[in-house]
Structures are given as structure tokens and as C-alpha cells.
A and B are shown apart, each in its own frame.
Chain A
Amino acid sequence: MDPMDAIKATYFQECDELLADLEQGLLTLDASEGDGDTINAVFRAVHSVKGGAGAFGFEALVAFAHVFETALDAMRSGKLEPDGDALKLMLRASDVLADFVQAAKGQGVVDEVRAQGIAEELAALTDHGAGPRVSEPAPASDGGDDDWGFTPLKFEIDEPVSAGGWLLVMTPTSAMYAKGHDAAFFLREIERLSSCETALDLSNLPDLDALSPEESYLSWRLRIPGDVAETTIREVFDFVGDDCSVELTRFGAPAPAAAPPAPPIDFEALLGAVRGEPAAAGAPQVNEAHEERGANGADKVSAKPAALGGATIRVDLERVDRMIDLVGELVINQAMLAQRVGESGLARSSTVAIGLDELEQLTREIQDSVMAIRAQPVKSVFQRMPRLVREIAGSTGKQVRLVMEGEGTEVDKTVIERLSDPITHMLRNAIDHGLESPQDRAAVGKPEEGVVRLAALHRSGRIVIEVTDDGKGIDRQRVREIAIKKGLVASDAALTDEEVDNLIFLPGFSTASTVSNISGRGVGMDVVKRSIQALGGRIAITSEPGKGSVFTLSLPLTLAVLDGMVVRVGEQTLVAPLTTIIETLRPKADEVRRLGPRGAVLAVRGGHVPLIDIGVALGWRTTPIDPTIGVVLLVESEVGGRAALVVDAIQGQRQVVIKSLEANYQRVDAIAAATILGDGRVALILDVDVVLDGRSLDRPDNLLLAQAS
């Protein structure tokens, strides 16, 4: 990659994070939970986006970010109230800013009219919110500011009175800089000891014409509160020796006469000078940068201790994936080795067998830790949703508040990627079909603003996503009528409320009488359901008329490994996902009853479940084996209800690495994926839902009966 491209790629990566922070910050403020720090963080996000954009020459982006930043600056300085309307506007502005960033990436275009409108609204906000403002420094010079290598640290003009501590005056000499040391390093080290207050002493700084770039003119005064040993502070400066003069005095004791008196610097005056003559380069410009950074630094300092807690590194995803593949191979190889050793007839107590057991444990642990590396919080998916909700709310004319919970819930990357579409769809449905219009809500005595809750949580080894709305709930009468009209159920079918609710997942069902451009895109809940099932997931709905509905979606935590039951069917070895199996049993002859010309059922615990011969279902044999000589897996799926799958024998239970059939071939009906077993052969993983569902499809009139069973 071209080095410039690499830098750009990093910038865009940062932009995505900054934009997420921006949106998050604005939402926090909107919920009236933010404080000055939040406003600062929001301002900083926009400022950083702008700074980088300036460096790359993304003019349009810079221009918009600049207007945005101006408005935020007014809010930061208290001239603009962070109230509802202003924040709503800023949220929309953050959407547009995101569009500009996308456009700069070369993906998508910006709606110029919308951008212009929002820019004008932002400008209007500051105009009468903040009164006439001194003209901002030109964006270009601002971009330059970001290149200024000054370390952001807290900066105090007036020394506040606080109890106890050290006063440190640090004056680096040019010799120190010549040796490649950086004053920032020391400031950072001291900061690590105690949250100190730092003041820059510019009193020795000559005029621009007298300034020698090689000389050192600056010194810093640090107030280090708290109980820090003198030696600890001195140690920081140990290796620079005499190249940096360090004077350390206790608080209360007057600073030694030798220390520069550090007159308070009138930054306002300096800034005024800069603003008065924007053309002036050099020292005053530098001061401005200091001011800017100093203010920003105030937050960084407070944010720092938290950041120190968990150091992170950025790793190319490919490397992690490669590692996961390799560990997968390791697991397979370990299984192969174990099988060979088993075949060789070594005693289980032999040292080889014991060593092998340990290897197995270790392998399992390695696999778990590698999978943990790839686990990501669902935040990356969730953070796209507020915008979506705003847009849907805007186009439906409904008032919606999105509440998100459990964004930190972690799930494997393979699952994260597949979460976005179903969540998008469920949210669309909740707002479009679930929530009422503000008028209707007011009429039934609800607040005009509807609440949609999006939550993620871990439950019994799966990730559960819930989308809750406080709308009108499912109109069961209408759902029923439509289902009957479309021929999905018999007109005299007796259905429970739950069954009626689940009718919306049937193919070809859509309740909206007019096809809206939001939900009615020809993609119904049946498609959502199918795509979730393809991932081994389940979706369900519960609804209460007048109170709202809850969509619950559950998915496995990973799509990389699976706990399975290894079974033999004829000559073939198959894996059935353990999650679908309720129990295994060997039926007695009197429990098997024939039903119809070919069908058979198994009497189990008072009920009757259909018997399905897996060999026949997969087309490997034409006549089913006698269930009494085989083994029955009692399985349950969301679609097909319960069924008894007949296999020849059970070989054991183990965790298998999921291998895609699609990578080199294509999807195969009734097969979820493949895996490689200990003998090095490929075994197929059964897609229980499809086996059960496929059977129901042959008899559409029984679809509901099967579901109800």
C-alpha cells in the first residue's frame, strides 16, 4: 500500500471511531446525562475529524466540520444551551458529517442540499445563540495545529490553592532536546505519578525575529498534589542529568528565588492579537495552538488513568483469522492423534494417553482464548442504529426514542457481521408497524414519543437480542384475517394468541395495508427468520395489545465451533448440533406406531412425534431402518416443532470446528456445514431445522399443526 494511503486508511479508521464517539456524546447530552466533559469530547471528535481532513485536502468535509465545530464551540463555552432542538440538529449534523467522511472515502455521495440546510441551521444557531464571533482561524492553519507536537496536558493560569504536594519547575536546556529527549515525556511521566496541574512558562520566549529555533526557551511549572516521594519525582529526570534543570519545592514553602517568577500569561490578550492579525505566523500562532491543546488536554488528563488500565493493540483481522484457522487445524490434528493412539491399543493409563489428555485440554484452552480475541462487543452494530431510527422516525412522522442496553456484550466476529441486517429489520418493523403516530398515542393517553429498546445479553451460551416497542402490539384479529385471506391458515383453525403472533413469520405475510417504503420492501419477517435460522438462530415474538411487542432473537456466540453429537447413518458419519437435541433414546417396538401409508410416529412421554429416518431424508437410502434397532434423537426446532430422528448409532459427543461447504462448493439442502473428524474425513453437520421444515413443506396444510405440537 502506498504510505499515504496507509495514513489515510488510519485516518478513516479513526474517523469511524470519532464519529461513533460524537454520536454517543450527543445522545448522552440529549438524554440530559452529559456534562462539560461530554461537550468537550464531542467538540474534540469533530475537531479531530476536521484536522485530519484538512491534512488530506478534503475541502467539503473541512468546510462542514468547521461550521459544526463552531456551533459546538459555542456550546462548549456556554454561549449555546445544549437543549433538545440544538442537539437534534447536531445529531442530524453528525449524520451528514458521517456522509462527508464516507464521500471522502470514495463511498457514497453527500446530499448537498441537506448538508447546506443543516450547515445554515448550525450557523443560525451560533449567530443568535452566541452573538457575533471573532472570525475563526482559517481551516488550513487549523490543520497545521494538529501537526504541532505539543502534548495535551492540563493547563492552569491561576494556581488554585490545594493542600500539600510538590511544586516542580522544569527547565529543559537545548542540550536535552539535542539528545532527542522530549519534554512531553517527562510531563507524561509526572502525570502518571499524580494528576498534576501544569503551567507553561513563556517568559523567556523572545520575539519572533530574535528566536533561534535551536534554543530552548520554555519551562514548566507543575503542581503535584498528594503524597509523592521526592525521589520518585527525581527518578523521572534521572537519565537527563544536568540537561534539564529541576527544582522541587514543597507546597506552601515559597518557590526558590532562582525559579523564574512565571508571570500569569494573558492568553485572552494574546489570542486577541492573533485574531486581530490572522496573517501573523510564528510565535503568536504557536500560542494559539497551546491554548487549543491546553483546553483539550484537560479532558485527556482525566481520561488517561482509565486508559492506562487496559492496554490494547490493533491487529490486522487477517492475522487473527489465520490463527483461528490454524488452531482449528490443531484441534483436528489433536483429535486424529488421539484416535490413532486409541487404535494402537495403548492403555488409558499409559503416559502417552495421559500426555494426550493434557494436550487436549491445552488445545481446548488455546481455542477458547483465540476465540476470545476475535470476540467483539455488539457496539459496532448497535452504534449504527440511532441514525437508522432517526431516519425512519423522520420519514414516518413518528417520534421515537431509542434506548440501547448491553452494547458491551461480546460475541464472535462471525456473528457480529450477521447481526446488522436482522436488527435493522426488527427496528424498522418496530417503528413502522409497532409504534403509533403521535396523535394516536396521545389519544390513548401515551406519551407522544414512542420508546424502542434494543438490548443485547448473554443467555445460556447464546447471544440474545431484544427489540421492544411500546406501541400498539400485534392486531391479532387483523393478522388472522390476513392469514386466512392469503390462504396461510384454514378459516376455522383454532389458534392460540402465540400462534397468531407467529403467523407474521410465514412467507408471503405482510400486515401493512399499504406498502410503505420502509418495511414493505418485499422482504418480510419470513426472510429475517430464514436468515437467522441459517445461522443456527431463533426468533420469536411476544405481544400485548396496546402495550407493545418484543422481538427476541437468539444466536450462537460463535459460528466457528459447535458442540455436536456424532452419529452414524448407513456408511456415513454425521454431526447433529447438540443444542437441537432434547434427548436420545432407543425406542421399544410398541412405542413406534405407523401413521398413514409411509409415516410413523413415536410415542414419547404421552405425546406422539413424527419419526424421520435421516438416511431417507438425505437421500442416502430408500427404505427406513427399523427404529428399534437404531437410535432416536429427539430434536426440537423453532419451525418444525419436535421430531424423532432415526440414526444407526451414536458415536459420541464432541466439539467440532465448523468448515464452510460454500467456500469451495455451495449450500447443500439440509446440511448446515461440514467438519473434519479425528479420522481426517469430512463429516456433514445436519441442519435440523431444514430437515424438519422441509418435511412440513411437503404437506403445507400441516405446517401449523407441526408448529403447534
Chain B
Amino acid sequence: MDTADTNKDALELISFRIDDQEFCLDIMAVREIRGWTVATSLPHSPSYVRGVINLRGAVLPILDLKTRLGLGVAEPSARSVIIVVHIRERLVGLLVDAVSEILAAERDNIQPTPNVGCETVNRFVRGIIAMEGRMISWIALDDILPEQQQAEAA
């Protein structure tokens, strides 16, 4: 579970689009949002790892959230954005098509993720928010990075 959302009933979420689906993240996990720049690709990495970019002197890995969620490969354009998020002690950039808005939601109003028989959904969607006739999936960031075992084996 994210550390940012302990014991609070009110949530602030930042929502974004990938294709025609809407997703959101806890705003507390978001450090900044920046435009797309070409990433240096990393060898021997999973397909959803686009590579690394320079974030003011730090090396920031960029994950293609679309690929990670099993929705195909993103084709970054000038409009694409990178959402820089904290995942534990790490800073990670998530490539998405566009950021839409900031939402306020009550924790009580979050519906459990319906079981659609999809491992990816179960793993990365922690809940569903229904709002003005839209359905927004709340992304869980915990597992978004590649498995760490790979690092030990290397």
C-alpha cells in the first residue's frame, strides 16, 4: 500500500488519460510533472522501461504506463507528459498521454476493483472511482517497478 494515504478519508488525486481510459494517482505521491524528452534506453530491460532521463542531475527511469498496464506501446508526442512520482525512496517517471485534472474523492466512495480476470488489473488497479458518469481507475504504484530480484542476479 502507498504510504501517503494513511488514515485519511479525503483523497486528492491527479487524473490522466491513456487512450480512452482514465486513471488517477494519489497526489501525495506526485513530485512534479514535466514534458516528454527522449530517454536513453537501457539494455536488457522490460519493454515498459523506456529508459532514463536527466532530472536536474539525477538519473530518472521512465516507465511507459501504457505498456505496463498492458494497453500497448505509447507513442510519445510533444503533448505527452512524464509524471514524476515517489515510490518508496525512489523517484520514477511515468509516461502518460496527458494529465486531465485534480480530483477530490472520499475514501468511502472508492469501489473495489471488479474482477475482470486480468492479472494486470488486479495488480495495478487498487480501486475504482465513479464520478460524473466516468470511471477512473486508481493506480497502485507499489509493483510498478520491475522485480528487484533481477538486480541481485546481475
Query: Given that A674-B52, A680-B54, A682-B52 are contacting pairs, would A665 and B61 also be in contact in the complex, using a CB cutoff of 8 Å?
Result: yes
Query: Given that A663-B90, A682-B52 are contacting pairs, would A668 and B58 also be in contact in the complex, using a CB cutoff of 8 Å?
Result: no
Question: What chain B residues lie within 8 Å of A680 (beta carbons)?
Answer: 54
Mask for B98-122, Cβ within 8 A of A = 1, else 0? 0000000000000000000000000
Are A669 and B43 in touch, CB under 8 angstroms? Answer: yes
Q: How long is the Cα–Cα vector from A400 to B45 in the complex, in angstroms?
A: 49
Query: Given that A572-B41, A680-B54, A681-B40 are contacting pairs, would A666 and B59 also be in contact in the complex, using a CB cutoff of 8 Å?
Result: no
Mask for A318-334, Cβ within 8 A of B = 1, else 0? 00000001001100100
| Contact pick for A664, options B45, B92, B146, CB 8 Å | B92
Given known contacts A667-B150, A683-B40, what 19 new A-B pairs fall within 8 Å (CB)? A328-B57, A332-B57, A573-B40, A618-B44, A661-B52, A663-B59, A664-B58, A668-B45, A669-B43, A670-B43, A671-B43, A674-B52, A676-B57, A681-B38, A681-B54, A682-B39, A682-B54, A684-B43, A684-B52
Query: Given that A328-B57, A682-B53 are contacting pairs, would A662 and B151 also be in contact in the complex, using a CB cutoff of 8 Å?
Result: yes
Q: How long is the Cα–Cα vector from A166 to B76 in the complex, in angstroms?
A: 86
Q: What is the minimal beta-carbon distance from B149 to any residue of chain A, in angstroms?
A: 10
Scan residues 188-230 of chain A and give those whose CB is less than 8 A from a CB of chain B. none
Query: Given that A669-B154, A681-B54, A682-B52 are contacting pairs, would A664 and B41 also be in contact in the complex, using a CB cutoff of 8 Å?
Result: no
List the A residue with the shortest CB-CB distance to B45: A668
Q: How long is the Cα–Cα vector from A617 to B42 in the complex, in angstroms?
A: 12
Q: What is the minimal beta-carbon distance from A570 to any residue of chain B, in angstroms?
A: 10
Are B40 and A664 in touch, CB under 8 angstroms? Answer: no
Are B58 and A659 in touch, CB under 8 angstroms? Answer: yes
Scan residues 655-698 of chain A and give those whose CB is less than 8 A from a CB of chain B. 659-671, 674, 676, 680-684, 690
Are B146 and A666 in touch, CB under 8 angstroms? Answer: yes
Query: Given that A618-B44, A620-B43, A681-B38 are contacting pairs, would A666 and B57 also be in contact in the complex, using a CB cutoff of 8 Å?
Result: no
Are A663 and B41 in touch, CB under 8 angstroms? Answer: no
Q: How long is the Cα–Cα vector from A325 to B57 in the complex, in angstroms?
A: 9
A619 within 8 A of partner (CB): yes
Q: Which 5 A-B pairs have the closest CB atoms?
A: A618-B43, A665-B61, A666-B151, A682-B40, A667-B151
Q: How long is the Cα–Cα vector from A683 to B54 in the complex, in angstroms?
A: 9
Query: Given that A325-B57, A329-B57 are contacting pairs, would A665 and B52 also be in contact in the complex, using a CB cutoff of 8 Å?
Result: yes
Q: What is the minimal beta-carbon distance from B131 to any residue of chain A, in angstroms?
A: 32
Are B150 and A666 in touch, CB under 8 angstroms? Answer: yes
Q: What is the minimal beta-carbon distance from A71 to any residue of chain B, in angstroms?
A: 49
Question: What chain B residues lie within 8 Å of A682 (beta carbons)?
Answer: 39-40, 51-54, 59
B30 within 8 A of partner (CB): no
Question: What chain A residues lie within 8 Å of B42 (beta carbons)?
Answer: 661, 665, 668, 671, 684
B145 within 8 A of partner (CB): yes
Scan residues 56-103 of chain B and give those whose CB is less than 8 A from a CB of chain A. 56-61, 90-92
Query: Given that A681-B54, A682-B53, A682-B54 are contacting pairs, would A619 and B44 also be in contact in the complex, using a CB cutoff of 8 Å?
Result: yes
Q: What is the minimal beta-carbon distance from B65 to any residue of chain A, in angstroms?
A: 16
B7 within 8 A of partner (CB): no
List the A residue with the shortest CB-CB distance to B55: A664
B148 within 8 A of partner (CB): yes
Question: What chain B residues lie within 8 Å of A668 (beta carbons)?
Answer: 42-45, 154
Q: How long is the Cα–Cα vector from A684 to B91 in the complex, in angstroms?
A: 18
Are B38 and A620 in touch, CB under 8 angstroms? Answer: no
Number of A-B contacts (CB under 8 A): 84
Q: How long is the Cα–Cα vector from A659 to B145 in the complex, in angstroms?
A: 19
Question: What chain B residues lie within 8 Å of A662 (beta carbons)?
Answer: 151
A-B contact pairs, 17 of them (CB 8 A): A332-B57, A617-B43, A619-B44, A620-B43, A664-B91, A665-B42, A665-B145, A666-B150, A667-B150, A668-B154, A669-B154, A670-B43, A674-B59, A676-B57, A681-B40, A682-B40, A682-B54
How many chain B residues sit at the interface, stated as a range, is 20 to 34
List the A residue with the shortest CB-CB distance to B84: A664
Q: What is the minimal beta-carbon distance from B76 to any residue of chain A, in angstroms?
A: 15
Q: How long is the Cα–Cα vector from A620 to B39 in the complex, in angstroms?
A: 14
Q: How long is the Cα–Cα vector from A325 to B56 in the complex, in angstroms?
A: 11
Question: What chain A residues lie within 8 Å of B53 (beta carbons)?
Answer: 681-682
Q: What is the minimal beta-carbon distance from B86 to any residue of chain A, in angstroms?
A: 10
List the A residue with the shortest CB-CB distance to B148: A666
Q: How long is the Cα–Cα vector from A151 to B53 in the complex, in angstroms?
A: 59
Question: What chain B residues lie within 8 Å of A663 (beta carbons)?
Answer: 58-59, 90
List the B residue with the shortest CB-CB distance to A570: B41
Interfacial residues, chain B to chain A (CB-CB below 8 A): 38-45, 51-54, 56-61, 90-92, 145-146, 148, 150-151, 154
Mask for A381-409, Cβ within 8 A of B = 1, else 0? 00000000000000000000000000000
Residue from B38, B43, B58, B60 having most chain A Cβ neighbours under 10 A: B43
Scan residues 616-671 of chain A and give those whose CB is less than 8 A from a CB of chain B. 617-620, 659-671
Question: What chain A residues lie within 8 Å of B54 (beta carbons)?
Answer: 676, 680-682
Q: What is the minimal beta-carbon distance from A560 to any residue of chain B, in angstroms?
A: 13
List the B residue with the shortest CB-CB distance to A571: B41
Question: What chain B residues lie within 8 Å of A661 (beta carbons)?
Answer: 42, 52, 59
Question: What chain A residues lie within 8 Å of B146 (beta carbons)?
Answer: 666
Query: Given that A620-B41, A674-B52 are contacting pairs, would A664 and B57 also be in contact in the complex, using a CB cutoff of 8 Å?
Result: no
Mask for A586-627, Cβ within 8 A of B = 1, else 0? 000000000000000000000000000000011110000000
Question: What chain A residues lie within 8 Å of B52 (beta carbons)?
Answer: 661, 665, 674, 682, 684
Q: What is the minimal beta-carbon distance from B46 to any residue of chain A, in angstroms?
A: 11
Question: What chain A residues lie within 8 Å of B151 (beta carbons)?
Answer: 662, 666-667
Are B59 and A669 in touch, CB under 8 angstroms? Answer: no
| Contact pick for B90, options A328, A664, A667, A684, CB 8 Å | A664
Question: What chain B residues lie within 8 Å of A332 (beta carbons)?
Answer: 57
Residue from B60, B90, B154 having most chain A Cβ neighbours under 10 A: B154
Q: How long is the Cα–Cα vector from A676 to B56 in the complex, in angstroms?
A: 10
Q: How long is the Cα–Cα vector from A662 to B53 in the complex, in angstroms?
A: 14
Q: How long is the Cα–Cα vector from A660 to B91 in the complex, in angstroms?
A: 13
| Contact pick for A665, options B56, B57, B59, CB 8 Å | B59
Q: What is the minimal beta-carbon distance from B28 to any residue of chain A, in angstroms?
A: 18
List the B residue with the shortest CB-CB distance to A657: B57
Question: What chain B residues lie within 8 Å of A666 (beta carbons)?
Answer: 145-146, 148, 150-151
Question: What chain B residues lie within 8 Å of A329 (beta carbons)?
Answer: 56-57
Question: What chain B residues lie within 8 Å of A620 (beta carbons)?
Answer: 41, 43
Q: How long is the Cα–Cα vector from A617 to B38 in the complex, in angstroms?
A: 22
Question: What chain A residues lie within 8 Å of B57 (beta carbons)?
Answer: 325, 328-329, 332, 659, 676
Q: What is the minimal beta-carbon distance from A685 to any residue of chain B, in angstroms?
A: 11
Q: What is the minimal beta-carbon distance from A675 to any residue of chain B, in angstroms?
A: 9
Question: What chain B residues lie within 8 Å of A619 (beta carbons)?
Answer: 43-44
Q: How long is the Cα–Cα vector from A659 to B60 in the complex, in angstroms?
A: 11
Q: How long is the Cα–Cα vector from A325 to B58 in the complex, in angstroms?
A: 10
Q: How long is the Cα–Cα vector from A669 to B90 in the complex, in angstroms?
A: 19
Q: How long is the Cα–Cα vector from A663 to B90 in the complex, in angstroms?
A: 7
Q: How long is the Cα–Cα vector from A680 to B40 in the complex, in angstroms?
A: 11
Mask for A458-502, Cβ within 8 A of B = 1, else 0? 000000000000000000000000000000000000000000000
Query: Given that A660-B59, A664-B90 are contacting pairs, would A670 and B44 also be in contact in the complex, using a CB cutoff of 8 Å?
Result: yes
Residue from A660, A664, A674 having most chain B Cβ neighbours under 10 A: A664
Q: What is the minimal beta-carbon distance from B110 to any residue of chain A, in angstroms?
A: 29
Are A664 and B44 in touch, CB under 8 angstroms? Answer: no
Q: How long is the Cα–Cα vector from A682 to B53 in the complex, in angstroms?
A: 6
Q: How long is the Cα–Cα vector from A665 to B90 in the complex, in angstroms?
A: 7
Mask for A552-582, Cβ within 8 A of B = 1, else 0? 0000000000000000000011000000000
Q: How long is the Cα–Cα vector from A668 to B154 in the complex, in angstroms?
A: 7
